[in-house]
Structure 1
Amino acid sequence: MASSKKKTMSRNRFFRLGLVLSTLAVFIASVILFFWFTTRALFSKNRHFVLKNVSVVSVGWWDKQSRRVANILKLKPGQTNLFEVDLKSLRSVLEKEPSIERVTAARQLPDSIKINIIERIPRAFLGSRNIDLVSDATGIVMDKNTCVPLNPKIPVIKNFRVRRGHKLQPGLEIASLKPALELIMITRTDYPEFKIDEISMGGHEEMYLRIFYGTGSPREYNVVMPQSDLKNNLRILKTAILKSTRDKDTRTNMNLCYKGQVLITQ
């Protein structure tokens, strides 16, 4: 009889424990459902938070392109709820546009989304100044008609290689442009007295430049240089130009591909 009583007490103990756990599970589920319905009522299904305005701010072409941006993001003013918009996804979609470098986005209660766009800056024409393709400093191809207003005198890069199976079009990143673009940026930051007009990529790790030196009446030079150690190449070129100017040397063809010396020809 004592054994039977112990078994009964044990069953009652497990029953009470199961009842407590079941009650706790129901309580937790109820709390979750309460917060879910409350969140929907207060935010995602609240008519007061329906999107009315998409504000786009940039310093270039994308400034005030609200309708275009809303179409790209599939935002529907008057229908889309502000709290159903995934801001991280929104930024990711816009940053796939070739001329856009970085995006920030924020909700502005009760009915707006503000988008700030940092655009890529065109640094060179690709192939010719007569076509619409340009590149930023990282080698991203863009359409000049949908990027920041560009200086028509930026350099032209020619004879670059595009990876097999890829078409030259906006959005493509071209690795073979990197040496030329690096050289262009160095002249902007360290050697502003040089103005590059054209760069032609050679097939043996060299570059052919048409470049101007000087500020008052710049003189044109045709230069061949390696695609590496570019800052040092410009230092050597500047030294050679200054020496030829002092010597009244009228020759303007310079080859820097010979280690330790500059070959100057007519």
Structure 2
Amino acid sequence: MAKNNKSILKNPYLRISLAILFICIMIVVGIIFFKYIYAEMFSENPRFRLRNVIVKSSGFWNNRADDVIKILGLNKGVTNLFNLNLYDLRRQLEERKGEGIAFVEISKELPDTLKVEIIERIPQAILYNKKSCMLTDKYGTIMDSKYFQDVLSSLPVITGFKINEKRNSNYFGQTITVIKPALILISIVNEDYSDLEIRVINLYSPGKLLVYILGSGNKIIKIVLPFEFSTDPLTSNAELAVSSRILREKLNELRELLKYLNWKKNPFTEINMMYKDQAVVK
């Protein structure tokens, strides 16, 4: 019997199998031991439980730690920093576009602090009317006005369009393209024509922008500007480039015309810039 055991042990294939089995057992034991040590030192160590959340931003979300904690489902004194996936936390916040969040940076500061930096979207206009709760940024993202109460009075209104969604849909966070001509006009004016104070942009008429600006003596002046635009992505970019160039040319003409009309003190309430090399003043 002993002789048979010795012959079995001398079998090279059996010896290799036993060695592999031993190595596998040691690896499993090592993994279990590592997990135990890791848990004791980090993921279950009370020293690394969350106690402070610091939120920094330039607008509504600044110092809103309680709101961020609620959104992310964190528990002070319970959640362990080493159990947090920063990518998932950042994604959860950045998905809330309608609440004005654009980009987020999150970092851990051991032993017990989570730092959150939020870059907020900048509202460019109110949609439909001054009492609307819907705002938009320069990309056409719809946002809830309650996150931007301090800037509402200075924003122009974009109206004369429809959102192709169900009536009871939650629009916040959606991006719409139909208002792009108005957003381009606002962007150009903010950059180079700050003397033109836009109050309303009406998109009702295809191929043109009906713009209402504040003139001298707080008089509202209607300006009609050309702007061809298609929502077809295959043609819209090229068309936008041409329309934007024409729009800049018309704004240059409008600026000079307003200076002349104000100097002449001629009464007027409407300027139609739809015609080439001329304008109709009423």
TM-score by length of 1: 0.85
Whole-Å separation in 1 of the counterparts to 2:271 and 2:92: 47
Structure 2 gaps of 5+ residues are 1-6, 228-239
Alignment of 1:1-266 (within 5 A): 12-97=11-96, 98=98, 99-147=100-148, 149-150=150-151, 152-165=153-166, 167=169, 169-212=171-214, 220-227=220-227, 228=240, 229-243=243-257, 245-246=259-260, 248=264, 250-258=267-275, 260-266=276-282
- The structure richer in helix per residue is 2
Compare 170-179 and 116-125 and name the one that shifted more.
Answer: 170-179
Instruction: State the Cα distance separating 1:44 from its structure 2 match.
Output: 0.8
Instruction: State the Cα distance separating 1:16 from its structure 2 match.
Output: 1.6
Contact 1:225–1:255 (CA under 8 A) maintained in structure 2: yes
**Identical-pair percentage:** 29
TM-score by length of 2: 0.81
One-letter identity of the residue aligned with 2:277: Q
Deviations 1:23-53, CA, capped at 9 Å, x for gaps: 2222222222222222111111111111111
Instruction: State the Cα distance separating 1:252 from its structure 2 match.
Output: 4.9
Contact 1:186–1:231 (CA under 8 A) maintained in structure 2: no
One-letter identity of the residue aligned with 1:211: I
Whole-Å separation in 1 of the counterparts to 2:149 and 2:39: 41
Contact 1:212–1:221 (CA under 8 A) maintained in structure 2: yes
Deviations 1:228-266, CA, capped at 9 Å, x for gaps: 4224313223224414644746545333434x3344131
Shift of the 244–76 alpha-carbon distance from structure 1 to 2, 3 Å rule, reads closer
Contact 1:157–1:201 (CA under 8 A) maintained in structure 2: yes
Instruction: State the Cα distance separating 1:104 from its structure 2 match.
Output: 0.7
Shift of the 240–155 alpha-carbon distance from structure 1 to 2, 3 Å rule, reads closer
Contact 1:56–1:117 (CA under 8 A) maintained in structure 2: yes
The Cα RMSD (Å) is: 2.6
| 1:32 partner SS | helix
Contact 1:120–1:136 (CA under 8 A) maintained in structure 2: yes
Contact 1:240–1:262 (CA under 8 A) maintained in structure 2: no
One-letter identity of the residue aligned with 1:91: R
